[in-house]
């Protein structure tokens, strides 16, 4: 177990409530999930597991990540929220990853994947964010995208339009997502959008565990 700890660090944030009859020890399942989210391909992850005498398929590790249903923690009260979106390729089509980040902790607050980017979808994202966190008094940091400002205005939330400073927190995280998904040729192939969204939300939980 000492070697597992060295490779994975703390994995308390991974819940295995979905496990019914799983022949892989829970510590190694958590290791597999953590290594894949941290940057290893599915093939390299199963090679690491083989070092502990566990032979599982790429699909098995993929299913662990999907079934764990990892979501960023709720019930925070940030002073500022960096809000932005970026393009994610899925099967050659563009989708928009929306993210809200607390720039003081560098943690994801909420993550969603949408087929397009509009004021209405931004309002939907903000409503979900408000259901999870107390952001009524927070100042949202956005770029010059008009639909972001329009949605925040309609929701009665305060915001500042800036390109640098604390808003860079979300830009840094987006760069890390792009780096991480470069192992998929900067896209997700042969998966449904909901599968990609689940992976991105799990990635957000892994990222938060480091901060």
Rounded Cα distance, 55 and 65, in Å: 17
pLDDT at 170: 74
**Mean pLDDT, rounded, for 152-175:** 82
pLDDT at 2: 43
Confidence tier at 18 by pLDDT (50, 70, 90): confident
Q: What is the mean pLDDT of the chain?
A: 86
Confidence tier at 46 by pLDDT (50, 70, 90): very high
Of 118 and 169, more confident:
118
Rounded Cα distance, 129 and 13, in Å: 21
87 has pLDDT over 90: no
pLDDT digits (tens, 9 = 90+) for 66-81: 999 899 999 999 999 9
pLDDT at 20: 64
14 has pLDDT over 70: yes
Domain with CATH 3.30.420.10 in the chain: 80-190
The 3-state secondary structure of 126-193 reads HHHHHHHCCCCCCEEEECCCHHHHHHHHHHCCEEEECCCHHHHHHHHHHHHHHHHHHHHCCEECCCCH
Rounded Cα distance, 182 and 176, in Å: 10
80-190 belongs to which homologous superfamily? Ribonuclease H-like superfamily/Ribonuclease H (3.30.420.10)
**Mean pLDDT, rounded, for 127-144:** 95
Structure token digits, residue 150: 């329009």
Output the pTM of the full model: 0.86
pLDDT at 174: 79
Structure token digits, residue 67: 């079934």
pLDDT at 48: 93
Strands 187-188 and 107-114: unpaired
Of 36 and 185, more confident:
36
pLDDT at 41: 85
5 has pLDDT over 50: no
pLDDT digits (tens, 9 = 90+) for 171-193: 778 777 777 665 554 457 778 89
Rounded Cα distance, 110 and 138, in Å: 15
Which candidate, 125, 131, 98, 91, places its Cα nearest to that of 113? 98
Q: Residue 61: which region, alpha, beta or left (left: phi > 0; alpha: psi -120 to 50)?
A: alpha
Q: Name, in order, each residue with C-beta under 8 angstroms of 176's C-beta and a sequence gap of 6 or more.
A: 207
DSSP state, residue 115 = S
Which candidate, 125, 87, 91, places its Cα nearest to that of 108? 125
């Amino acid at each position: 177990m000492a070697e597992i700890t060295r490779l994975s660090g703390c994995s308390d944030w991974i819940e295995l409530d979905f496990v019914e009859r799983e022949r892989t020890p829970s510590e190694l399942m958590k290791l597999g999930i953590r290594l894949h989210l941290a940057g290893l391909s599915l093939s390299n992850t199963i090679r690491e597991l083989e070092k502990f005498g566990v032979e599982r398929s790429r699909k098995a590790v993929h299913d662990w990540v999907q079934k764990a249903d990892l979501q960023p923690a709720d019930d925070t009260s940030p002073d500022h929220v960096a809000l932005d979106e970026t393009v994610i390729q899925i099967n050659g089509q563009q989708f928009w990853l929306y993210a809200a980040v607390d720039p003081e902790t560098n943690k994801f607050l909420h993550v969603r994947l949408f087929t397009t980017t509009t004021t209405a979808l931004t309002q939907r994202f903000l409503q979900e964010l408000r259901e999870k966190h107390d952001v009524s008094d927070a100042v949202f940091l956005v770029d010059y995208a008009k639909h972001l400002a329009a949605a925040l205005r309609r929701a009665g939330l305060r915001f500042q339009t800036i390109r640098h400073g604390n808003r860079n927190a979300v830009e840094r995280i987006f760069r890390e997502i792009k780096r991480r998904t470069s192992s998929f040729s900067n896209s997700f192939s042969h998966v449904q959008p909901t599968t990609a969204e689940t992976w991105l939300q799990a990635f957000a939980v892994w990222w938060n565990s480091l901060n």
